[in-house]
C-alpha cells in the first residue's frame, strides 16, 4: 500500500490521492493523543465532554449533504443511504452525549460491614480505532462517541479508500471544540499500526474488519497486553419459521440482504425457510430481487449501488462461480461483475461440501435453504463459523425467543430487520469477534472501573 486514494466505484476513476503518514507523523499523533488524555480528558467532567459531543452531533446534521456525497464517491453507497448513515451517526453521538453522565456515574457497592465502597468509571487513555470502508461514519461514531465522552482519546486509522471521510470526521470533532489530540486521524500503513499498538501509552484497540485483520490485530495487541474489541465478519441467517404474511417476510428478507448493496457484516446472507413456505417464498423472493433498481451511487431512487471496488466485485464473482461449479443452482443473477457492479443473485442447493456454505458473501448474493423443522434450522444456522446476528420470522414470539436462545449469535431480531439503534448493543461470538459496541455495553469496553473502599 503506497497511498490512500478515492476511487469512485460508480466510474472506477481515481478522484484523489493522499500520502501515507511518516513515522514521525505517527509519533506526533501518539504524543498529541497522550497529551490530550493527560490534560483535556482527565481535567474535564463527563458533562463537559458530553456537551462537546452534542455539538459534534449537530455538525454531522449541518453537513450531512456534503458528508453523504463523500462516501457515495468513496465506496459507492447510494446517496439516500449515505444521508441515512450520517443521520444515524449523529444519533449515536447524541445518545452518548445524553446518556454518558448516567452511564459513567459512580456506582455504590453494598458491603457486609456497612463501610462505604463505590466504583468510579474513568477512561483508560489513548485508544487506537481501525475502521472499515463499508460504513465510514457509523463505524467511527460507535467507537469514538462513547470513548470520547468516557475520557479516552482516539487515534483513528480509517480504510485506505476513505481518506476524505476520515478527514471530514476529524474536522467535525475539532470544530465541535475537542482539543488537539483528542481525536487524531492517521493515514497509517500496516507496520505503523503495529508501532502504535506497541507504544505503552496506547491502552486499547478496536477493529471492525475481516477475520484475517482481526486475528492479526489481536495477536499484536495480546503481545503487548492491550485490551481489544473485534467486530468481524458474519454469515447471518434469516429464519422463516411461521408467518401469515409471506409477502412481508419476503420484503424483510430482501431488505436484510441488500442493506448497503449487500455489504453489511450483519446482512441476512443465508435465507432459511421452513419447507411448507419454501416454494412460495423462493418464487416471490427471486421476483423481488429481479425487480430491484441498481445504478450509480449518486442516482436517486436506486436500491443498489456498485460494490466498493472492482476487486471486491471480482472476488464475489469468483465465489459465485465456484459455488455453481461445485453444484449450486444459480436461480438468477451472475457469476461475473461489470466493473464494480454486481447483479442481484440468488443461489440454492448449497451444501456443506461447497466453499460457499462456509464463506461470507459480501455483496448482493443470497443463498436459499429449505429445512423441515426448527431443529434443522437451528443446526444449519449454528454450523457457520460466524456468530454475529440473526432474524427470526415467527408469529409465536415465545417460540421465536426459544429458537433465538439456541442460536450461537450475538443478536436476534424477531419479526423485523434493520432494528439497529444507538441503545442496542452490537456484536457477535465465535469468528465474528468479541466485545460490544453501542448501548451501555459500548461505553463499558474501555473503562477503568476503579474501586474506592473505605475503612470503618
Per-residue pLDDT of the chain (456 residues; tens, 9 = 90+): 568 999 999 999 999 999 999 999 999 999 999 999 999 999 999 999 999 999 999 999 999 999 999 999 999 999 999 999 999 999 999 999 999 999 999 999 999 888 999 999 999 999 999 999 999 999 999 999 999 999 999 999 999 999 999 999 999 999 999 999 999 999 999 999 999 999 999 999 999 999 999 999 999 999 999 999 999 999 999 999 999 999 999 999 999 999 999 999 999 999 999 999 999 999 999 999 999 999 999 999 999 999 999 999 999 999 999 999 999 999 999 999 999 999 999 999 999 999 999 999 999 999 999 999 999 999 999 999 999 999 999 999 999 999 999 999 999 999 999 999 999 999 999 999 999 999 999 999 999 999 999 997
Domain ranges of the chain: 3-232+433-453, 236-421
Contact predicate 124/448, CB 8 Å: yes
Domain 3-232+433-453 indexed as CATH 3.40.605.10: yes
83 vs 94, 242, 264, CA distance in Å?
A: 17, 35, 17
Between CA 269 and CA 253 the distance in angstroms is 9
162 is catalytic: no
**Pair type for strands 153-157 and 126-130:** parallel
Between CA 78 and CA 260 the distance in angstroms is 8
Active-site residue, from 85, 160, 164, 231: 231
Cell digits of residue 40: 483535556
Cell digits of residue 312: 471486491
The β-bridge partners of 184 are: 155
Q: Going by C-beta distance under 8 Å and a sequence separation of 6 or more, which residues neighbour residue 348?
A: 282, 328, 329, 331, 367, 368, 369
Which is nearest to 308 in space by CA: 139, 79, 134?
134
State the DSSP code for 178: P
Concatenating the DSSP letter of every residue in 121-162 gives EEE-SEEEEE--SSSTTHHHHHHHHHHHHHT-EEEEE--TT-
Cell digits of residue 132: 472499515
Task: Kindly report the backbone phi and psi dihedral angles of residue 113, in degrees, each rounded to the nearest multiple of 5, phi listed first.
Answer: -90, -5
Between CA 278 and CA 134 the distance in angstroms is 32
Cα separation of the two ends of the chain? 61
Which is nearest to 254 in space by CA: 321, 303, 295?
303
The answer to whether domain 3-232+433-453 and domain 236-421 are alike in fold is no
- For the domain bounded by 236-421, which CATH number is listed? 3.40.309.10
Rg for the chain, CA atoms, rounded: 23
Active-site residue, from 265, 340, 360, 394: 265
259 is catalytic: no
Between CA 390 and CA 408 the distance in angstroms is 9
Contact predicate 424/130, CB 8 Å: no
Which is nearest to 375 in space by CA: 406, 409, 398, 352?
406
Q: Going by C-beta distance under 8 Å and a sequence separation of 6 or more, which residues neighbour residue 23?
A: 192, 195
Q: Angle at CA 434, nearest 5°, toward 230 and 133?
A: 30
Amino acid at each position: 500500500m503506497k497511498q490512500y486514494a478515492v476511487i469512485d466505484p460508480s466510474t472506477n476513476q481515481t478522484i484523489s490521492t493522499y500520502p501515507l503518514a511518516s513515522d514521525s507523523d505517527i509519533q506526533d499523533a501518539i504524543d498529541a493523543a497522550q497529551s490530550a488524555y493527560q490534560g483535556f480528558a482527565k481535567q474535564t467532567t463527563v458533562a463537559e465532554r458530553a456537551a462537546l459531543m452534542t455539538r459534534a452531533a449537530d455538525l454531522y446534521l449541518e453537513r450531512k449533504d456534503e458528508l453523504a456525497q463523500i462516501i457515495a464517491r468513496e465506496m459507492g453507497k447510494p446517496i439516500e443511504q449515505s444521508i441515512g448513515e450520517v443521520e444515524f451517526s449523529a444519533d449515536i453521538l447524541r445518545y452518548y452525549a445524553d446518556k454518558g453522565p448516567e452511564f459513567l456515574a459512580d456506582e455504590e457497592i453494598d458491603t457486609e460491614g456497612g463501610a462505604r465502597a463505590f466504583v468510579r468509571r474513568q477512561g483508560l487513555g489513548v485508544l487506537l480505532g481501525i475502521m472499515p470502508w463499508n460504513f465510514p461514519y457509523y463505524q467511527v461514531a460507535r467507537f469514538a462517541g462513547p470513548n470520547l465522552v468516557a475520557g479516552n482519546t482516539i487515534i483513528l486509522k480509517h480504510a485506505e479508500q476513505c481518506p476524505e471521510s476520515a478527514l471530514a470526521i476529524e474536522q467535525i470533532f475539532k470544530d465541535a471544540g475537542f482539543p488537539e489530540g483528542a481525536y487524531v486521524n492517521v493515514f497509517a500503513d500496516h507496520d505503523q499500526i503495529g508501532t502504535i499498538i506497541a507504544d505503552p501509552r496506547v491502552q486499547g484497540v478496536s477493529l471492525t474488519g475481516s477475520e484475517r485483520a482481526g486475528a492479526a490485530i489481536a495477536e499484536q495487541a495480546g503481545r503487548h497486553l492491550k485490551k481489544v474489541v473485534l467486530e468481524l465478519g458474519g454469515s447471518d441467517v434469516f429464519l422463516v419459521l411461521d408467518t401469515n404474511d409471506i409477502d412481508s417476510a419476503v420484503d424483510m428478507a430482501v431488505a436484510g440482504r441488500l442493506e448497503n448493496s449487500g455489504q453489511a457484516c450483519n446482512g441476512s446472507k443465508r435465507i432459511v425457510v421452513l419447507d411448507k413456505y419454501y416454494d412460495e417464498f423462493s418464487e416471490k423472493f427471486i421476483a423481488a430481487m429481479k425487480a430491484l433498481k441498481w445504478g450509480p451511487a449518486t442516482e436517486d431512487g436506486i436500491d443498489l449501488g456498485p460494490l466498493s471496488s472492482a476487486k471486491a466485485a471480482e472476488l464475489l464473482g469468483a465465489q459465485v462461480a465456484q459455488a455453481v461449479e461445485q453444484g449450486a443452482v444459480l436461480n438468477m443473477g451472475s457469476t461475473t461483475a461489470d466493473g464494480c457492479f454486481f447483479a442481484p443473485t440468488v443461489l440454492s442447493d448449497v451444501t456443506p461440501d461447497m466453499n460457499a456454505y462456509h464463506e461470507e458473501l459480501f455483496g448482493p448474493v443470497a443463498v436459499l435453504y429449505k429445512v423441515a423443522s426448527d431443529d434443522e434450522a437451528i443446526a444449519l444456522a449454528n454450523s457457520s463459523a460466524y456468530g454475529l446476528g440473526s432474524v427470526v420470522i415467527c408469529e409465536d414470539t415465545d417460540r421465536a425467543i426459544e429458537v433465538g436462545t439456541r442460536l450461537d449469535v450475538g443478536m436476534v431480531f424477531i419479526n423485523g430487520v434493520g432494528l439497529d439503534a444507538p441503545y442496542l448493543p452490537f456484536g457477535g461470538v465465535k469468528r465474528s469477534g468479541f466485545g460490544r459496541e453501542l448501548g451501555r455495553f459500548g461505553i463499558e469496553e474501555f473503562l477503568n472501573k476503579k474501586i474506592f473502599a473505605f475503612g470503618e
